[in-house]
Amino acid sequence: MSSEQKPVTTRSSYQKTIYDSRQPPPLGTVDVDKAERIAREKLRDRQDAYMYVFGSAGTASTHDHNRREFDKWKIIPRMLRNVTSRKLETTLFGVKYPSPLLLAPIGVQGIVHSDGEEASAAAASNVGVPYIMSTASTRSIELVARANGSGPRWYQLYWPVSNDITLSILSRVKKAGFSALVVTLDTMLLGWRPHDIDTAYLPFFHGVGAQVGLTDPVYMAHKGLKPYSEDDKPAWPYVPNHLDELIRNGDKDAQERSMLGNGWISETTPGVFKTWDDLPFLRQHWNGPLVLKGIMCRQDAELAIDNGVDGIVVSNHGGRQVDGSISSLYALHQIMQSPKVKEAQASGKLTILFDSGIRTGSDIIKAVALGAQGVLYGRPYIYALAIGGQIGVESQLRAILADLDITLGLVGYKDLDEIRGKADEILVKD
């Protein structure tokens, strides 16, 4: 992969094109409430799939905290500065990207659109935004890489219990051109999600979201089977009752996928907790950037430095794992109070990324001012996928990047270096 990624051709000029042509964007603005409503309507026959995306753990209080913390921080606009020419460029792990935005790893995208992860990976590539592929995808590693083409891509690992399976995944990921490994720490056990429990909805139990496993030679050998073709994908739409019926009626394919999906859950969200002592195994077998996702406090950020990882994602998984938790933005602020973290960031030893609650350009400015070098965009792009597939995701990405570029100029800054870590000057909190 080249160290210079494709430029985003669609920042503030995207807004001008919309007004000039009198053509509203096909789908995306940054009004996520509206996108949520449209996606819900579009998925009216599959409310369980919509709720899988929308829902959070317990009472959804953590998700609410994520958004409320953004509202507490406010930007102070500055005037009469020459910010006519602006740049969103961001360097992460030595690679220059056109913006600080990355697509968050989101599993099971095939429940909301027939093109699933292929659509999002292709959209990300067209806009120059790195695509972080989830271990819980409904497409194989190889198929996502093909859809992403020459775009930048990272891989998110739900860390399997079996080391030989982990090694097999790492080797496939490397071969398929994924440059960074993001290890999610907060989901070694699935959170208590009432909205899914109410409908007993978990696609993995039908093998949906287990495509990385189904196409893995080592995982499949554990089951005494040959891997499925890398082009294999689950049937669309995913209708749990229909698959239950097939299984009851002895359909061999449905039965096998269900058995394999069950096994994949036991490998990847097993309820068996890894510890810091297990990290050297990954360090030893992955020579690219190693990033820990789910760090929520200063002590763990410092431990990440001690354990030689290259980056962290400050994240509470969009509030889907722990109810009643601190917000992710609050955690970022706390973590950045650590002199050790600040020093590691300044020296290039530790890269700090952020997610959980990013909805608009001004949210990105706030997260960057509080110290983030890059931000992961989550649920909004899945609503866009549900509404309009690849075009929907592209439209949503162009919108948030245009919003970021415009807002950056209007508050008086010409690039992200001018605001990174400068919350004291740029923001106030009430």
Q: Is 219 annotated as a binding residue?
A: no
Member of 152, 234, 289, 357 binding ligand FMN (CB under 6 A): 357
Residue 248 amino acid letter: R
Q: Is 81 annotated as a binding residue?
A: no
Member of 38, 43, 104, 145 binding ligand FMN (CB under 6 A): 104
Residue 15 amino acid letter: Q
How long, in residues, is the chain? 430
Member of 358, 365, 397, 423 binding ligand FMN (CB under 6 A): 358
**CA-closest candidate to residue 145, choices 156, 155, 160, 159:** 155
Of the candidates 63, 195, 206, 317, the residue annotated as catalytic is 317
Nearer to ligand FMN, 230 or 355 (CB): 355
CA distance 406 to 77: 12
Nearer to ligand FMN, 156 or 360 (CB): 156
Nearer to ligand FMN, 69 or 247 (CB): 69
Half-sphere exposure of 215 (CA within 13 A, CB side): 24
Q: Which of residues 395-424 bind ligand FMN (CB under 6 A)?
A: none
Q: Is 107 annotated as a binding residue?
A: yes
Residue 53 interacts with ligand FMN (CB under 6 A): yes or no:
yes
**Residue in the block written with tokens 């891509």:** 153
Nearer to ligand FMN, 136 or 176 (CB): 136
DSSP assigned state of 187: T
Q: 261 near 204, Cβ under 8 Å?
A: yes
Q: Which of residues 157-216 bind ligand FMN (CB under 6 A)?
A: 184
Using alpha carbons only, give the angle 329, 368, 174 rounded to the nearest 5 degrees. 95
Nearer to ligand FMN, 355 or 394 (CB): 355
Closest distance to ligand FMN from the beta carbon of 352 (Å): 15
Q: Is 356 annotated as a binding residue?
A: yes
Range list of H helices, 270-378: 279-285, 298-306, 328-335, 339-346, 361-369
Q: 290 near 282, Cβ under 8 Å?
A: yes
Whether omega before 237 lies within 30 degrees of 0, making that bond cis, reads yes
Which structure tokens are listed for 361?
Answer: 């350009």
Member of 110, 116, 130, 318 binding ligand FMN (CB under 6 A): 318
Residue 267 interacts with ligand FMN (CB under 6 A): yes or no:
no
Question: Does residue 317 have an active-site annotation?
Answer: yes
Q: 180 near 291, Cβ under 8 Å?
A: yes
Closest distance to ligand FMN from the beta carbon of 236 (Å): 17
Q: Which of residues 116-135 bind ligand FMN (CB under 6 A)?
A: 134
CA distance 83 to 91: 21
Pairing of strands 374-377, 427-429: unpaired
CA distance 316 to 20: 41
Residue 384 interacts with ligand FMN (CB under 6 A): yes or no:
no
Closest distance to ligand FMN from the beta carbon of 199 (Å): 15
Residue 100 interacts with ligand FMN (CB under 6 A): yes or no:
no
Member of 100, 240, 378, 388 binding ligand FMN (CB under 6 A): 378
How many residues touch ligand FMN under the rule CB under 6 A: the total is 23
Pairing of strands 73-75, 427-429: antiparallel
Member of 62, 125, 140, 156 binding ligand FMN (CB under 6 A): 156
Q: 73 near 366, Cβ under 8 Å?
A: yes
Helix (H, G, I), strand (E, B) or coil at 374: strand
Residue 46 interacts with ligand FMN (CB under 6 A): yes or no:
no
Instruction: Could you list the residues known to form a binding site for glyoxylate, using ranges.
Output: 52, 193, 317, 320
Instruction: Could you list the residues known to form a binding site for FMN, using ranges.
Output: 105-107, 134, 156, 158, 184, 293, 315, 355-359, 378-379
Q: Return residues touching ligand FMN (CB under 6 A).
A: 52-53, 104-107, 134, 136, 156, 184, 293, 315, 317-318, 320, 355-358, 376, 378-379, 382
The residues carrying an active-site annotation are 317
